Structure 1
Amino acid sequence: MEHRSPSSRRYAVIGAGPSGLSAARALQKAGIPFDGYEAAGGVGGLWDIDNPRSTMYESAHLISSRTTTQFAEFPMDSTADYPGHRTLKRYFDDFATRFGLTGSFRFHTAVTRLERDGGRWLLHADGPDGATTTTYDGVIIANGTLAEPNVPTFRGSFAGEIMHTSAYKRATQLTGRRVLIVGAGNSGCDIAVDAVHHAASVDMSVRRGYYFVPRYLFGKPSDTLNQGRPLPARLKQILDTRVLKAFTGDPVSFGFPKPDYRLYESHPIVNTLILNHLGQGDLRIRPDIDRLDGHMVHFRDGTDEEYDTVLLATGYTLDYPFVDRDDLNWTGTSPELFLNVFPPSFNGLYVMGMIEASGIGWQGRYEQAELIATYLAAQEHHPERAAAFRRRVTTGPWPDLTGGYHYLALERMSYYVNKDAYRRAVREATEALGDDASAEGSRTRRRHGTRPRRRRNGPTAAPPTTPDDAEVRA
């Protein structure tokens, strides 16, 4: 994108994790002034394990590969295919330094409230200099999706320790303890693999089956295969299911329930070490919990067992506590936003990073930011294009972002998208806003059969009824 003449408007970016840095970089390239706000002392978001809001743990690594995750304009200075969190923290520090973004953020400054002020927004924050209020023409919310723990309730009471994975940092916390992990998402499986080397015993309580994807297939990171050539959803499900059975076997034989859905209709588990430990007898799979009684956990199949620690690997809920839900068009368990970014009211709020998708990486989030920056630049320099974009959003239909997959109607899947369908829709929207020729190109492609189908949760359809882990935990 070319640099534009400086904007007369000013915007705020909340958060300096991957999504916030994406927004900052896109605004910078478009010549749009902004102030960044970050509650922690530096960039990196949850990848900064020293950030008080971080849910990172010592053994955490990427579960999508480096080359499919990194920013396109700033490759990682690492040869590891799946680098760990400390390497990634350095990566974000280097990214911010390379592009001169650090000085645009106010660190140790938490946003406490967003309030409408006519057509603008009052941003209230607490920082080193106390409470401040600043007026902005718009606010980009990029404070992440994996900070507010989802804590289920159980019948009865437990005499031991109940801990959410957000409080887990290292395996020595579980030394000598009888541990029950509730949930088998990517974090739950990571922690189980850690725990078998320290805990007295490890069980996992699961309520549904999972598909397990090895990190390497045919000697290469599995998510690097077939890049740029997406297969039709049903064909990919059939082929990849056969490949996984050949490489990992049937998870049912290790004690997991049989999945009641097809591959990719929920986030797969990128961890086959868990199957090795199950095969070695290092841990066991247990059914869903019925009730708690002292140190005893009763399961729904009538069995029971005593534990010292119940570790909840039950994911996170979306949390934008500083803004009214109506301002984000919150519907059910998540905001209903065009391309998961724009409230249909176009009230000056924009959401970054409210997407989960296998393989979308940080470049996919940067493309979100580029779309926001292009829209803001159009508002300033080409208001007719911005107006046309708003009309398309409000009249619908919205593009289908599922890629033909029938995602489970779960809370954690309510903002799940298919990476290929999503990135295509974002690029087309950006092109249409960017210039008339690009807009005509997008219209031509749609006339020739690439017009996306109506998304199931577009403005003319009901949203899904109702998250665990992201592919990059960010």
Structure 2
Amino acid sequence: MKRYAVIGAGPSGLAAARALQQRGIRIDGYEASSGVGGLWDIDNPRSTMYESAHLISSRTTTEFSEFPMRSEVDYPGHRVLKRYFDAYADEFALRELFRFDTRVTGLHPHHDGGWMLHAEGQDARRYDGVILANGTLAEPNVPAFAGSFSGEIMHTSAYKRAQQLTGRRVLIIGAGNSGCDIAVDAVHHAASVDMSVRRGYYFVPRYLLGRPSDTLNQGRPLPARIKQFVDTRVLRAFTGDPVRFGFPKPDYRIYESHPIVNTLILNHLGQGDLRIRADVDRFDGRTVHFRDGSSGDYDLVLLATGYTLDYPFVDREHLHWRKASPNLFLNVFPPSFNGLYVMGMIEASGIGWQGRFEQARLLAAYLAADEQTASAFRARVTGRPWPDTTGGYRYLGLDRMSYYVNKDAYRTALRAELRTLEG
């Protein structure tokens, strides 16, 4: 009987384990940390979580459908989510499928097919296939800057609590969701807070009309251009124009990059608690020079510059990398069908963990299919254009957007492939 390995016990790894379990497929799971939860376990050495972190999508659009959260909070914090993943793993007996405190160090093709998996503390083992679910938010993206900074430079992955900022002059470079969260923390502890940005952003409130904003218009997706037209005007009405707070005007339409689900930062800008600076030109000791000719002195530069995809245990050729990310059918299947599969390599507003589980259901259906059905699936993948999962949105050509999808278009494509596999 075939056996597969799952690397990672975060949300995507648990989703994969659950879907394969439902099909009766044998797996061994590997997790470098001591428990489940992935980055949501702040005590996991690889976690990039910080104390003030909460979901940026609401609970009901994020949870696994078969296992609702035992919480009435709309946007739970990381400790609630860690308990949720513990309960999920216990409910479906997933924990016993994993080997914890076991870091995978290498994957190599076996001469008779399948993959040899090397992990710390055990002999190499052969598997018929390996599912990579080690997450997308663990390897910091650290850009290079001209000059040198004599203060401290820290990536947000190393930020855990606001006390790290107490009494310091802080410059945050980048304004993603984590950067804005940390900026809000900083205004209560730091001596001063500046934020350097190179482009404009759209800011989405967590609540509209008294409800979590991502629960509105569920199940009735509008065409891209109509939704952009409508939502841009709704945001202007509810949050105003971020340009008046110092942000550059976006040179793209809403949803063509991930929006910022944090309007508290606009409140603090309006109160003068922090200020927006231009893109960085160079460092000079404790002084940072900006591209608009201004400068400022700082004790700490905090890089909110995101993450890069990282599958360090397998050569890139096996995942068909194309620039910043692997080129995979529906972000799961290498077109060579070499026995490697990826779970969780998707970013999308509102796709939640159920979207990851639907990925896993498709993979499980493929692995459980008879050879004729599986062969027909492979022929369809390699013999026709892949489905358009953009939903009509023209995403920015950034590295972090290279595996971005529209949740409705993506889930529609997943379900169509699943129906075909299941006949």
TM over 0.5: yes
Distance 1:361 1:150 in 2: 24
1:271-286 superposed matches below 5 A: 271-286=262-277
What residue identity is the alignment partner of 1:159? S
What residue identity is the alignment partner of 1:144? G
Distance 2:147 2:319 in 1: 37
Which range is displaced more, 54-63 or 389-398? 389-398
Distance 1:396 1:305 in 2: 55
Which residue matches 2:314?
Answer: 323
Which residue matches 1:444?
Answer: none
Deviation per residue, 1:59-89 (Å, 9 max, x gap)? 0000000000000000000000000000000
What residue identity is the alignment partner of 1:71? F
Matching of residue 123 in structure 1 with residue 111 in structure 2: no
Q: Where do 4+ consecutive residues of structure 1 move more than 3 Å? A: none
How far apart are residue 131 of structure 1 and its match? 3.6
Which residue matches 1:176?
Answer: 167
Distance 2:102 2:398 in 1: 34
Matching of residue 434 in structure 1 with residue 415 in structure 2: no
Matching of residue 267 in structure 1 with residue 258 in structure 2: yes
Matching of residue 363 in structure 1 with residue 376 in structure 2: no
Matching of residue 104 in structure 1 with residue 92 in structure 2: no
Q: Secondary structure at the match of 2:368?
A: helix
How far apart are residue 395 of structure 1 and its match? 1.2
- Within the candidate set 368, 388, 408, 2:396 is matched to 408
How far apart are residue 396 of structure 1 and its match? 1.8
What residue identity is the alignment partner of 2:317? D
Report sequence identity in percent: 78
What residue identity is the alignment partner of 1:409? G
- Within the candidate set 203, 206, 209, 1:215 is matched to 206
1:343-354 superposed matches below 5 A: 343-354=334-345
Which residue matches 1:67?
Answer: 60
Q: Secondary structure at the match of 2:367?
A: helix
Q: Secondary structure at the match of 1:327?
A: helix
Matching of residue 253 in structure 1 with residue 244 in structure 2: yes
What residue identity is the alignment partner of 1:79? E
How far apart are residue 132 of structure 1 and its match? 2.2
Q: CA RMSD in A?
A: 0.5
Deviation per residue, 1:222-272 (Å, 9 max, x gap)? 000000000000000000000000000000000000000000000000000
Q: Secondary structure at the match of 2:334?
A: coil
Q: Which blocks of at least 5 consecutive residues in structure 2 are unaligned?
A: none
- The TM-score normalised by the length of structure 2 is 0.99
Matching of residue 113 in structure 1 with residue 106 in structure 2: yes
What residue identity is the alignment partner of 2:73? A
Distance 2:255 2:295 in 1: 33
What residue identity is the alignment partner of 2:5? A
Which residue matches 2:295?
Answer: 304
Distance 2:422 2:343 in 1: 20
Q: Secondary structure at the match of 1:132?
A: coil
1:173-212 superposed matches below 5 A: 173-212=164-203
Deviation per residue, 1:80-126 (Å, 9 max, x gap)? 00000000000000000000010110000000000000311000001
- The TM-score normalised by the length of structure 1 is 0.89
Q: Secondary structure at the match of 1:207?
A: coil
Distance 2:189 2:327 in 1: 43
Q: Which blocks of at least 5 consecutive residues in structure 1 are unaligned?
A: 1-7, 436-474
Distance 2:303 2:5 in 1: 35
- Within the candidate set 11, 15, 25, 1:22 is matched to 15
Distance 1:396 1:414 in 2: 21
Matching of residue 47 in structure 1 with residue 40 in structure 2: yes
Which residue matches 1:38?
Answer: 31
Distance 2:337 2:378 in 1: 8
How far apart are residue 354 of structure 1 and its match? 0.3
Deviation per residue, 1:171-205 (Å, 9 max, x gap)? 00000000000000000000000000000000000
Distance 2:37 2:146 in 1: 38
What residue identity is the alignment partner of 2:406? N
Deviation per residue, 1:327-364 (Å, 9 max, x gap)? 00011110000000000000000000000000000000
Q: Secondary structure at the match of 1:252?
A: helix
Matching of residue 417 in structure 1 with residue 405 in structure 2: yes
Distance 2:382 2:102 in 1: 35
Distance 1:167 1:247 in 2: 34
Distance 1:387 1:131 in 2: 34
